[in-house]
Chains A and B, each alone.
Chain A
């Protein structure tokens, strides 16, 4: 109860604790920095617009904090220390109760029985044992407080326990894996402070997810993690181009040589001490089986790196469940899953170990500042009529592919003449139409990898100043020279896609670079509604969109 809660008397703090479990942090307050540091371990940053940042207390976040070694007392202390008004008592009690749920159950290594689920709280264990979802995962009861666990179910059990609200603390440890010397080669560069911090907090935590903005150098965090592990490593990436980039980066930044790094994709299938595989090849199904699954057991991996963990497909989740004895690191810019499976990421890959707000990294100068503009075009009457009478499922396509957008793109190109520009879209027809109108090359899923590589290289070298790209360029494509991105359509209201696309521009390029991100939207249609939803993540990260009318673009 409340009487056990320690309290301190402070008023006029920077923090306002709301009864719906959100925390409002006044950024301009002199103590805001301290308050942010105090609440960051347990509260999820939800929105960070200019004046007031919103954090949310979620069970997942509180358990994250427990996993990182914080206790309820520290959490309550932090809230009371920085709160401006009285903290709702029920909320404090709720925090204490939620946090107390973590670690009642522990996964341990038993000297004779192998992996066991143990508890000091017998009623909880009994409750859990009676849950239907858990039934098949447990073995024999060893004593009153201990149950054997099938080693293969370690991940599934953790996942199921989280769903039951009794997350288990995993003390079972990790296998070391096959040792392999990997060192960072910091002769002509240096790991940035936040990258080092991220890699270290991952290593101390065992497994987990590191969240850094696009362009902030997540690959290097992965490399630093490998240098900590010094073991054979499996890296899972989204596509082949990204795999090549990883390889280049690793060769450049670490002691690894090209021969030590294998690529495992549709075209080449090499298994080397460090192997980079694409999600696609792992999830290819032939005759009902996944033929490439044995890759996961091909070596005694000491570390598994998941790139763009927010995209992790469902089969990979299932496979990951079997890899709980190996260290896992997830990398992402946006731990927002449109399918809401953040809980699976928590239980299978690990809790969030590091998180840095985009604007913080930007203010440190590691990513370029960006100017986001939404351009609204008005559909001509005929098109509006067509739109109004179209089937609902056709509407977005009609609105997104409005012909007026071509004109806007053109005037934007004139405005930013000479600056390397990407035009990004969803619909191939639209992209080809644009490419024809602008006389620029198109990169889409149909483009062969070799051709893609060539175009990207040409763009990087400045040979090509304008590329029209489909969603294949959404992720992991390193184009530091890009300064302008014009988004003409997207996959509906996907927040992370918007963020990833902006991310293409944020790679630091020439000093003083200011990226411009334009989204062209048809006024008064679902296109505008989706755009509003897509912008939410970035707006909440502090990227303020300006809205202009198409006629004012040239000005």
Chain B
């Protein structure tokens, strides 16, 4: 990238790039790719729009911003010059410059590296230096001049540089070195302070660099230290795995509870405060944790809104939940953690007030932040960089981490501390981190690997037995195998949860098992098979006692009953050869029931020779047991392969741009330009500082060609020097019909 080679414009440079590099740009700045630009000219133009620039700049780290600032200050710099003026290791500067080139924020012109138009404005003050003067003196000369001046003048110079490079002074503006009487005049005489007509005096960039030695006084490549304290990796893993296990268990409990009693979905789409509080109480957690679990369950697709049986919107488990429940704990955790990491939601704000003073409900759609995902990823990536057996130090670790993220993304200061603290809390709750350190299995999550086998090793093995006790409790000393847990939950009530589960048997729970079709013998058999210890006598008695009263009253369906004092008449009817289809059954000597409705039954009975009388009108009651409710899993799930799809798309867009370039090269086909094309052409003219002919529709509706030298494009206006009038004028971009290069 010597000054000898170089390109006319960014568009030119893009045309020369290999396809992969173009794809890379489109991936790094995805806003450029949608909709697909027609050709490189349009792509370059789009890259220079303020919105796109701001998004690109937001991704830069502190050294990259300083290098970019140096490019702006130096105007036409070589890479070597940059390395000299930026207060950082040369390698760092080179890497930063490479990234800036990749992001198309800097391009190589014939005369040196140039920042894209608009960058200077979007960037704002970084070093606070002004641009170098049009004909910069060599750094050595300027340094010599700075050395010459009196201490007072140097102090003044330093002060002005630090204050933004501008000063107002009543000093004489035309003095020679010899005549200079005041510090200001000393500086003016040596060209270190440049007077401007009607405005404040400025310090040219080269003078600022000479004073500071670099564009910035302090080195910019030293990342803020993140304080750590020693903590064994195994311990971090243990604590995190414990939290991971709890998180999975609690999510299951939460969603399962919502299946039985769905909380209403608010009109705004969220969960009411009351429902959140009830859920939190049920899970034995505080409300922020409950909100986090609900949000994660939602992100993982385990709950969604659907109509409850009454047709009101409610939060229901999806059918994915049933699949999820059948997976091993580690896999279930990976699903939750992945969903959390990819989510742009900010559950930590639940319960806080929005700017209008309204309390945020959990699960409301507005509760998103574009920065949430990035903050989480970067936070985890930084934790992954901590040395082995070290975790964030108590007290100072978190501020250190915040400072580090601030250094990596200086342009995102708003609510940074809050977001990092929230992300850390969430990570700890979900078991991604433990004791403020990243769990070893979560590293895989950050690198896109599979955390499941790592985590599975840390989780307690499922147990296949319980300990039955005479106080009618059963204790499972670890996580139970799912099938066993389901059975046990049927015949006993869960009393305490955690690493172990305590179940209590009551007559009601045993009856519930009998209701579900178990026989007393089956219950006894089950208890004997799952218990490591003999089944206590009171429990055996309890089961028998429940079975004794179970079913002593029978209930059944019947469409009609037939009652007669004459038992033989009923027997006769029951055994009548033509009565088979009537579904008659004898439930007492003098009572028959029938499954045939009365209106059919009556004529049929008469056909059979009986003379029935209708005793009562209708008496049938339908009892339906409301089942567990399930909604369909929403389609719009973010699949894991989304990144692959994005890169495939970027490649396709890159190919489309190439095709556009070729079409353009083969001759300008249409005279009618789209506004986008016009803008692209104008921007290119700005970049290359060339004049173009534009066809402009003036206020009277007449078309006229004008030869202009574009200066900048902003806010729908082209600012250009009109060569005919020889003055700077603004043109509305939408009135420009055509842009043509000047034919020579």
Residues of A in contact with B (beta carbons under 8 Å apart): 1-4, 7, 9, 11, 16-20, 22, 24, 26, 47, 49-52, 54, 84-90, 524, 536, 539-540, 544-547
Contact = CB atoms under 8 A, between A and B. Distances in A.
Main secondary structure of the interface of B (DSSP, over half): mixed
30 contacts: A2-B435, A3-B392, A3-B394, A3-B397, A7-B235, A11-B238, A18-B496, A19-B246, A19-B498, A22-B496, A24-B475, A24-B496, A47-B473, A49-B470, A49-B471, A50-B533, A51-B469, A52-B467, A54-B496, A84-B478, A85-B242, A88-B242, A89-B434, A90-B285, A90-B286, A90-B289, A524-B549, A539-B470, A545-B470, A547-B538
Interface residues of B, number: 47
B716 interface: no
Given A19-B498, A85-B478, 8 more contacts: A9-B238, A17-B499, A52-B475, A54-B496, A54-B502, A87-B242, A89-B242, A90-B285
Contact of A86 (B245, B471, B496): B245
Contact of B428 (A22, A86, A89): A89
B394 A18 contact: no
Given A86-B243, A86-B245, A544-B538, A52 B229 contact: no
Contacts of A90: 285-286, 289
Contacts of A11: 238
A7 B536 CA distance: 38
B394 A1 contact: yes
A329 B241 CA distance: 46
Given A9-B235, A18-B500, A536 B242 contact: no
A50 B538 CA distance: 13
A86 B498 contact: no
A450 B726 CA distance: 131
Contacts of A16: 477, 498-500
B394 A24 contact: no
Given A3-B435, A86-B243, A20 B536 contact: no
Interface in B210-236: 229, 232, 234-235
Interface string B434-446: 1110000000000
Contacts, number: 119
Contact of A52 (B238, B469, B498): B469
B472 to A, nearest CB: 8
B284 interface: yes
Interface in B462-498: 467, 469-473, 475, 477-478, 496-498
Give me the 5 closest cross-chain CB pairs, A-B, nearest first. A86-B242, A18-B498, A3-B394, A544-B470, A85-B499
A86 B238 contact: yes
B455 to A, nearest CB: 13
A499 to B, nearest CB: 14
Contact of B469 (A19, A49, A547): A49
Nearest to B500: A16
A358 B723 CA distance: 107
B670 interface: no
B460 interface: yes
B581 interface: no
Contacts of B475: 24, 51-52
Interface in B545-587: 549
A89 B436 CA distance: 12
A86 B500 contact: no
A307 B475 CA distance: 37
Given A52-B467, A524-B549, A19 B239 contact: no
Interface in B508-556: 533, 536-538, 541, 549
A17 B284 CA distance: 14
A544 B473 CA distance: 12
Contact of A545 (B229, B391, B538): B538
Contact of B243 (A22, A24, A89): A89
Contacts of B394: 1, 3-4
B548 to A, nearest CB: 9
A544 B536 CA distance: 9
Interface of B: 229, 232, 234-235, 238-239, 241-243, 245-246, 284-286, 289, 391-395, 397, 428, 434-436, 460, 467, 469-473, 475, 477-478, 496-500, 502, 533, 536-538, 541, 549
Nearest to B467: A51
A247 B645 CA distance: 91
Contacts of A2: 239, 435-436
Given A3-B436, A544-B536, A545-B470, A18 B242 contact: no
Contacts of A84: 460, 477-478, 499
A379 to B, nearest CB: 14
A87 B394 CA distance: 19
A84 B238 CA distance: 11
Contacts of B471: 47, 49, 536, 539-540, 544
A226 to B, nearest CB: 38
B232 A9 contact: yes
Contacts of A545: 470, 538
A87 B284 CA distance: 15
Nearest to B437: A3
A19 B499 CA distance: 8
B477 A26 contact: yes
Given A51-B469, A86-B241, A547 B477 contact: no
A546 B395 CA distance: 57
A89 B239 contact: yes
A51 B475 CA distance: 9
Nearest to B475: A52
A186 B742 CA distance: 123
Given A86-B242, A88-B242, A24 B232 contact: no
B243 A50 contact: no
B497 A19 contact: yes
B580 to A, nearest CB: 41
A9 B345 CA distance: 36
B432 to A, nearest CB: 13
Contacts of B242: 85-89
Contacts of B460: 84-85
Given A9-B232, A89-B239, A544-B536, A20 B467 contact: no
Contact of A20 (B391, B392, B434, B497): B497
Given A86-B242, A88-B498, A89-B239, A20 B469 contact: no
B502 A24 contact: yes
Nearest to A54: B502
Contacts of A49: 469-471, 473
Nearest to A92: B239
A549 to B, nearest CB: 9
A88 B477 contact: no
B239 A86 contact: yes
A519 B435 CA distance: 53
Contacts of A87: 242
B475 to A, nearest CB: 4
B285 to A, nearest CB: 8
Contacts of B541: 547
B437 to A, nearest CB: 10
B284 A19 contact: yes
B503 to A, nearest CB: 12
Given A87-B242, A88-B246, A17 B498 contact: yes
Contacts of B502: 18, 22, 24, 54
Nearest to A538: B471
A416 to B, nearest CB: 20
Nearest to B243: A89
B256 to A, nearest CB: 16
A171 B335 CA distance: 55
A90 to B, nearest CB: 8
Contacts of A544: 470-471, 536-538
B538 A546 contact: yes
A51 B499 contact: no
A292 to B, nearest CB: 43
Task: Pick the most buried of A47, A50, A51, A54: most chain B CB atoms within 10 A of its CB.
Answer: A51
A326 to B, nearest CB: 40
B499 A20 contact: no
